[in-house]
Amino acid sequence: MSPMRRFLMPCLLVGLGGCLVSPVEETARITLGLDLPPGVTGATFAQGVSPWDEQQRFRLTVFPKYVRVAVEYQDYELAYATWPDPQRGIGDGEGDQGQVGVTLDVPAGSDRELQVLGYVTDLDRVLVYGTSQPVVLDLVAGQNEDLTLDTVLLPTGRIDMTVRCQQGNTGDWTPDRVMLWDARAGVLFPPLTLKQVSPTGGLGVEIVAVPVGRQFWARVMLRNVKTGAESAIELRSFFGVDQPNETRPVNVVIPCSIAG
């Protein structure tokens, strides 16, 4: 009989309460304190309304601040945690100056890269914060890593977006507003109103303070010119800005006839 079987059989014979074999601890815990500004409209948050929608995207129109901390290894995300934490309550744990804390358990190992993103609404734009330098950790199983990090505004560019329907913007449904959707972080920015930019009915909007290096999708809100009803169409084609102060034209064409 093998040594393992000699060990297990007495445990089975004495029943469930006879002995316990603890699994090997393979994770490390990171407790992270982050200095961020407060959300400027936090006092207007409606209690009982979840900022997460049915697709688990965080809506900055419902709550004005969102922090996402992830740990990656070779571009693969091992674990993530957020503030607000839906288990703790929306807005719970924010300091007077906007400081927040995030805790997550991560598979132990070396070369774990810490990714920090903080989204804070500022009137009609979103300010995005991160760390000034890459943070790489060697995590030992069973140990706690306590960190406090300062954050900086990420460099930004601008997107000049035009939106039109495949059949032209003259039908019952017309594009009205557009929302940036940070595809990887699952964050919906507040909507921006489209304005006429050409005599032929072209609609567009200038989106400022777009963080460099993030990949976005577009969520377009349409309005029925006869009834006032609203609908949404999502365009899951990546776009973004690659360099600070870059202006990137983005043309969005959507099938408005399927709205409603």
Which of left, alpha, beta for 79 (phi over 0: left; psi -120 to 50: alpha)?
beta
Which one, of 165, 170, 186, 166, lies nearest residue 236 by Cα?
A: 186
Integer Cα distance of 119 and 128 in angstroms: 5
Given a cut of 60, whether residue 126 has pLDDT beyond it is yes
Given a cut of 70, whether residue 13 has pLDDT beyond it is no
Whole-prediction pTM: 0.84
Question: For residue 225, how many other CB atoms are within 10 A of its CB?
Answer: 13
What pLDDT is recorded for position 171? 82
In tens, the pLDDT along 160-213 reads 999 999 888 778 899 999 999 999 999 999 999 999 887 777 899 999 999 999
29 pLDDT band, cuts 50/70/90, is very high
> What mean pLDDT comes out for the span 84-90?
82
Q: For the chain, list the domains and their CATH numbers.
A: 27-153 (2.60.40), 156-258 (2.60.40)
